[in-house]
Amino acid sequence: MQSRAAVSLEESNQDSNPPPIPSIKTTIPPQSRGLPLRLLRLFLLFLSLCLAFSFISIYAIRRFGVQNVVTTVKSGFIPSCIGGGADSFATLERFVAPPSNLLHRMSDEELLWRATLVPRIRKYPFRRVPKLAFMFLSKGPLPLAPLWERFFRGHQGLYSIYLHSLPTFEAKFPPSSVFYRRQVPSKVSEWGKMSMCDAERRLLANALLDISNEWFILLSESCIPLYNFSIIYSYIRRSNHSFMGAFDDEGPYGRGRYNENMAPEVNITQWRKGSQWFELRRHLAVSIVEDTKYYPKFKEFCRPHCYVDEHYFPTMLTIEAPNDLANRSITWVDWSRGGAHPATFGRADITVEFFKRLYDSQKCKYNDREEFRICHLFARKFSPSALEPLLNISQQVLGF
Ligand SMILES: *[C@@H]1O[C@H](CO)[C@@H](O)[C@H](O)[C@H]1NC(C)=O
Ligand SMILES: *[C@@H]1O[C@H](CO)[C@@H](O)[C@H](O)[C@H]1NC(C)=O
Ligand SMILES: *[C@@H]1O[C@H](CO)[C@@H](O)[C@H](O)[C@H]1NC(C)=O
Ligand SMILES: *[C@@H]1O[C@H](CO)[C@@H](O)[C@H](O)[C@H]1NC(C)=O
Ligand SMILES: *[C@@H]1O[C@H](CO)[C@@H](O)[C@H](O)[C@H]1NC(C)=O
């Protein structure tokens, strides 16, 4: 299925011949003595250029769809000439095309509202290739980006990338990078606070604006993929569940963090805990973004030391859509060293044996299979020093 999707995508790119350019006629009226002739000539030339561009763009949109317009005609030209320009009204392609510039100027309130617009007719009247949205929640740079570049290579059209970082950080990826211009408008987010959940909702909302995104994966800058793209894509596509960690921890760090003021929206039996690194189906992403029922309760009553990012989404989705959840995360992490933070792996840890142990230790439920051998698709935490050895063994161990 996915290779078919990739092939048909390529096909659609092939008929992108540049549209024929209509001839441009510049006529100069004879009676122009009253006005400075040069100025008038310049003005007319500009006007006819504008007209020509708008004709080309209208023609191209009708004939070839949107993407080709973007590549053949500098799109910035159109609105400056005919104000409003090639309207998004003319074709569906233009309406469903993903935003070309992620740095919009919407407020969070406006963004979330817009992201929750959902079509009521289930069948898409166009060919929709469902994509994985990889949402990176980072402080600043992505030290493992070269590994991810390798992972994504050759799978254009099946994924989209979003990067949320500190607002002061300006990503400088070259145009050839998969991360180029994938930064979304960001705000400061702190672990354990509501601002962290706000950042995750902001990422989800930005990714929802692309109607082809079907699965939404939250990752950090210290995450790596454990399999090649094809395996990850089909594992997620074939799963009947979304991978959100959610379990009922009866101890002080689980139910102990529940506050009775959250009732009746949240009952203690519904209180869940789980790691924030999730994978969610589109309709669940929408229910998180649209939530106004649980949000105020968590914001007010899940304060330090409640760690709201470990409870809000797992609890909310357990109440709203329990049967859609696998209740486990697909991101592997090592807590075996103890302490408040999971283990971080650096240069010296990266060996073939390390990954062999990691792969061999897996066993979990996947759809109706009780003891499936692929349980985690991603792993954390890897330090920047792990990059070089990872690149050395990625082909052999990770399969890309
Ligand atoms: C991904 O890995 C699987 C199993 O190792 C392999 O069969 C498949 O050919 C790989 N796909 C790509 C595109 O490399
Ligand atoms: C919580 O829900 C359970 C079952 O859904 C119910 O039996 C129990 O009474 C509820 N507790 C409170 C405090 O509402
Ligand atoms: C996940 O947990 C919910 C209740 O918390 C349960 O209804 C659901 O069946 C569980 N999912 C799986 C795949 O076991
Ligand atoms: C998963 O979904 C497929 C197709 O909808 C269905 O045939 C299958 O029975 C489901 N499996 C489980 C365990 O729910
Ligand atoms: C990576 O591979 C190169 C060439 O095979 C080798 O020189 C280098 O030491 C390796 N680096 C690490 C960290 O394994």
Q: Which of 172, 168, 196, 167 is nearest to 182 (CA)?
A: 172
Q: Residue 345's beta-bridge partner residues? A: 382
C-alpha count within 13 angstroms, C-beta hemisphere, residue 335: 4
Q: Provide the residue-wise pLDDT of the chain in tens; the chain has 400 residues.
A: 344 333 333 333 333 343 444 444 434 444 444 556 677 777 677 777 767 766 666 555 555 544 443 333 333 333 333 333 455 678 898 889 998 889 999 999 999 999 999 999 999 999 999 999 999 999 999 999 999 999 999 999 999 999 999 999 998 999 999 999 999 999 999 989 999 999 999 999 999 999 999 999 999 999 999 999 999 999 999 999 999 999 999 999 999 999 999 999 999 999 999 999 999 999 999 999 999 999 999 999 998 889 999 999 999 999 999 999 999 999 999 998 888 889 999 999 999 999 999 999 999 999 989 999 999 999 999 999 999 999 999 999 999 9
Ligand 1 atom closest to Cα of residue 400? 14
* pLDDT at residue 26, as a whole number: 39
Best mutation site among 3, 151, 156, 230 for ligand 1 pocket (most ligand atoms within 8 Å of CB): 230
Asked whether 45 lines ligand 2 (CB < 6 A), one says: no
* Number of alpha carbons in the 13 Å side-chain half-sphere of residue 130: 13
What is 108-325's CATH topology?
Spore Coat Polysaccharide Biosynthesis Protein SpsA; Chain A (3.90.550)
For CATH 3.90.550, list the domain ranges present in the chain. 108-325
Specify the long-range contacts of residues 333-336, CB closer than 8 Å, at least 24 apart. Answer: 333/275, 333/277, 333/379, 333/380, 333/381
At 193, is the secondary structure helix, strand, or coil? coil
Nearest Cα residue to atom 2 of ligand 4: 240
The Cα 193–Cα 219 span in angstroms is: 18
Buried b vs exposed e over 29-40: b needs ≥16 C-beta within 10 Å? eeeeeeeeeeee
Contact 251, 390 (CB under 8 A): no
Half-sphere exposure of 268 (CA within 13 A, CB side): 12
Q: Taking a C-beta distance cutoff of 8 angstroms, is the pair 159, 217 a contact?
A: no
CB 182 within 8 A of CB 162: yes
Say if CB 18 and CB 42 are below 8 A apart: no
* Partner residues linked to 217 by β-bridges: 134, 279
Best mutation site among 325, 328, 368 for ligand 3 pocket (most ligand atoms within 8 Å of CB): 325
CB contact set of 193 (below 8 Å; sequence gap of 6+) = 304, 308, 309
Ligand 4 atom showing the smallest separation from residue 368 Cα: 13
Q: Report the candidate in 187, 217, 197, 199 with the shortest Cα–Cα distance to residue 309.
A: 197
DSSP code at position 85: -
Distances in whole angstroms, Cα of residue 74 to Cα of each of 44, 56, 80, 155, 342: 21, 11, 11, 26, 48
Q: Does residue 267 line the site of ligand 2, with CB under 6 A?
A: yes
- Residue 234 alpha carbon to ligand 4 centre in Å: 15
With both helix axes pointing from N to C terminus, report the angle between 2-14 and 229-238 in degrees, rounded to the nearest 10.
110
